[in-house]
Amino acid sequence: MADVARLAGVSHQTVSRVLNDRPNVRRETREKVLAAIRELDYRPNTAARSLVTRRSQTLGVISFDSTLYGPSQMLYSIEQAARSAGYFISIASLRYQDVRSVREAVDRLRDQAVEGIAVIASKASTVAALAQHVGTVPMVAVGPTDPGALSGAGVDNQAGAEAAVRYLLDLGHRTVHHVSGPADWLDANAREAGWRGVLTDQGREVVPSLRGDWSARSGYEAGQRLARDESVTAVFCANDHMALGVLRALHEAGRRVPEEVSVVGFDDIPEAAYLTPPLTTVRQDFAQLGRRGLELLLQRVEAPAAPGGREASGAGHRAAIVAPELVLRASSGRPRS
């Protein structure tokens, strides 16, 4: 800092005010200091700064199943939103979502003096485990949300599934088969509820869903079963990777898409537009999810603390719901008459 002050011709207190973005610095002085920082490639000592400001400027993220497209995109969007807000990120990636693993992750991040924690949680049991720590540190969920337990930002999975199924029924399909996600995942359950609800409301046959695990392999195995049933004309898959497997199985069985069977996915992965045929799907805006989740977290971080340093109990649980979008491509069409 002394070298920056010397080069800029100012006091080290002025350099400190610029680094902390204080308002009482003249514009030309601020520009001189910033130019000196760039020339010297100066990097502030964040540990020393946190001792002075009593702020770590660090947020924690607890992530599960980050190899899957949805969680990995949510993690990336949270990190980008945090960086734009001037925060560092510390990530705890967990293989298991049991109570003990969750508790250890929260404790580890708190030991790093994070100011708040964003959680990419997929299961109801995980959200319940995290809810036990509400009040010890500001915390929000990103992805599937349960406003009764945690504040959070999430896509309206049920509405997305409803839009997909209504679209297929409006095309003239008598019913829609479903390849669902794992039974203990919140978003899989919401998508299945949306599928089932539309069929029930319209008095259509509800054929038992085929359970998948989000992978293309599980979609392929479900697709093999569907391909053998000549009555199948429309399939809604709970994610695009399973839809990819269904497309492969139908192709191998000689069932043409969309002439004989329409297929719709969920997520809109980057490859969806380049499959054969291009996949109709429900798009999730992961960038907006990250931004909304960070907005909620920072609101809680910056709220006045309750006595003892705990999060103010009056903050209340809030939900920011991001609307999904049905993207129409060539994998869906009217059934053969």
Domain boundaries in the chain? 1-44, 57-153+286-305+313-321, 157-284
pLDDT in tens, 181-234: 999 899 999 999 999 999 999 999 999 999 999 999 999 999 999 999 999 999
Is the model more confident about 7 or about 245? 245
Find the range with the poorest average confidence among 42-46, 71-75, 290-294.
Answer: 42-46
pLDDT number for residue 315: 52
pLDDT score at 309: 45
At the top level of CATH, which class does the domain 1-44 belong to?
A: mainly alpha
The pLDDT of residue 307: 47
Residue, of 336 and 169, whose pLDDT is higher: 169
pTM of the entire predicted model:
0.80
150-163 tens-digit pLDDT:
788 999 999 999 99
Per-residue confidence (pLDDT) for residue 267, from 0 to 100: 96
Q: What is the number of alpha carbons within 13 Å of residue 244 lying toward its C-beta?
A: 16
**Does 252 score more than 90 pLDDT?**
yes
Statement: residue 111 has pLDDT above 80: yes
Report the alpha-carbon angle 51-56-61, nearest 5: 160
Intrachain domains 1-44 and 157-284 with the same fold = no
Q: Residue 302's pLDDT band (boundaries 50, 70, 90)? A: confident
pLDDT tens figures, 231-248? 999 999 999 999 999 999
Q: If you classify domain 157-284 with CATH, what class do you get? A: alpha beta
pLDDT in tens, 14-39: 877 777 667 778 888 888 888 888 88
pLDDT for res 54: 57
Q: Is the pLDDT of residue 313 over 50?
A: no
Q: What is the pLDDT of residue 146?
A: 62
CATH 3.40.50.2300 fits 57-153+286-305+313-321, yes or no: yes
pLDDT, residue 268, reads: 97
Q: Which amino acid is at 11?
A: S
d(CA 92, CA 233): 43
Q: How confident is the model at residue 314 (pLDDT cuts 50, 70, 90)?
A: very low
Please give the mean pLDDT across all residues of the chain. Answer: 87
> In the predicted model, what is the mean pLDDT of residues 284-302?
89
